Chain A
Amino acid sequence: MLAIARTLVRRDLLVAMRRRSDAATALLFFVIVASLFPLGVGAEPNQLRAIGPGVIWVAALLSTMLSLGRLFAADYADGTLEQLALGAAPLGVVVAAKALAHWLVSGLPLVIIAPLIALQYDLERPLYGVLALSLLLGTPVLSLIGAIGAALTLGLRGGGVLISLLVLPLYVPVLILGAGSVAMAAAGLAPSGQLLLLGALLVVSAAFAPWAVAVAVRIGVE
């Protein structure tokens, strides 16, 4: 079962490698959106420090949304999703592997590049670590919850817009906790409360989201 999950993660990474432009688009989108705000609101350092964590988190949310459409759509179109549903591993494991691959391609790069973006907001040095850590805990949740939306909108026309409507409200707790942890640290308090809650969200969504996605995929391939 784990071997099958590993094969699938490797396959999705290989496909992503051969279509680098897709992953690069989402990442560039993140960089550009997060860079537009300092240009728009002006270079007042205190203001930038105040909005920085929130803006970076919102940009991460939107960038994740952008890549969600591809999570199952290609597999659905070329028939591989059917074969996955007929595979030797339970569908829950299969979709969890796909969500993991999605995170590796679109979530992890955000975690790595976020401290660089934070430079533009003049965040204090210790906050970089908190920001990266909050994204490290939060972006997998975005991939897992997003997978539910992606699976529910399989085969629908205009699915992309529908995913946003379905999934963005569910992202609110992640956004509040993620941006909140950095704001907390900026105020000189310990961000551990928010980070632990983010961790709890990650554990809960890793445990339950795959099964919801599996049910949605089964309905989708019918």
Chain B
Amino acid sequence: MLEAAGLDCERSGRTLFRDLTFSVARGDLVRVAGPNGSGKTSLLRILCGLLAPTQGEVRWRGTPIRRLAEEYSRDLVYIGHASALKDELTPYENLDIACRLAGVQVHRAALAWALGALAVPDLPVRKLSQGQRRRAALARLLVSEGVPLWLLDEPFAALDAAAAGYAEELITRHLKAGGSVIYTTHQQAALDSRARVIDLAVG
């Protein structure tokens, strides 16, 4: 489904990786590994189209993502370092708006259930702890089961064991349903054993 062909990435004059080629099929789990500053986040951002690679291209179902633009965006969920939550709004409002902006119609009850499942309190995001913010951001996954490609940057950071376990379960379910997941992590996760690894330190 997703193909990366000969990707080079240069950030502020430094080459992060060169000639990276791989493909991701339905049901694939891919972990991007490498030390800090090796370009894991840059790779994910290139894959979702936020960042243009210095060389090479990313194709989605055979078409370059540059050409697909919003059509491609609709097929992916990207959860980045920043939680993408507005401090002034509640997690419910944030999730509702995020879904609408992504063009997904989600029923109110489903939104409430997703936040409930992750035990996110109904307070303005400003008052939430780091871990709770992360949970609120991950709630997006619970209502994005129909979206085929998940790109997750450090999904388990700041999560406690229970929430991390739950997130892994979600990912497993998504893979079983035929979705693909590409993620980065520094923590040990039970998923890691099943994941194919793209190691940026070696390339």
Interface residues of A (CB under 8 A from B): 3-4, 7-8, 11, 14-15, 18-19, 74, 77-80, 82-90, 94, 221-222
In-complex Cβ contact of B48 among A8, A14, A86, A94 (8 A): A86
Q: A7-B97, A86-B48, A221-B50 are in contact. Are A18 and B89 (CB under 8 A)?
A: yes
Q: A14-B89, A19-B88, A221-B50 are in contact. Are A88 and B83 (CB under 8 A)?
A: no
Contact A90 B69 (CB under 8 A): yes
Q: A79-B80, A79-B83 are in contact. Are A18 and B48 (CB under 8 A)?
A: no
For A90, list chain B residues within 8 Å (CB): 69-70
Q: How many residues of B sit at the interface, in one of the four size bands? A: 20 to 34
For A11, list chain B residues within 8 Å (CB): 86, 89, 93, 97
For B100, list chain A residues within 8 Å (CB): 3-4, 7
For A7, list chain B residues within 8 Å (CB): 97, 100-101
Q: A15-B89, A221-B50 are in contact. Are A82 and B103 (CB under 8 A)?
A: no
Contact B103 A89 (CB under 8 A): yes
Expressed in whole angstroms, the Cα–Cα distance for A3 and B52 within the complex equals 29
Contact A82 B74 (CB under 8 A): no
For B104, list chain A residues within 8 Å (CB): 88
Cβ of B24 < 8 Å from any Cβ of A?
A: no
Contact B73 A15 (CB under 8 A): no
Contact B103 A79 (CB under 8 A): no
Contact B51 A222 (CB under 8 A): yes
Show 25 residue pairs from A and B whose CB-CB distance is below 8 angstroms, ordered by the A residue.
Answer: A7-B97, A11-B93, A11-B97, A15-B88, A18-B89, A78-B84, A78-B85, A78-B87, A79-B84, A80-B85, A83-B78, A84-B101, A86-B49, A86-B50, A86-B73, A86-B76, A87-B101, A87-B102, A87-B103, A88-B102, A88-B103, A88-B104, A89-B70, A89-B103, A222-B52
Expressed in whole angstroms, the Cα–Cα distance for A14 and B93 within the complex equals 10
Most buried by A among B84, B89, B101: B101
Contact B51 A83 (CB under 8 A): no
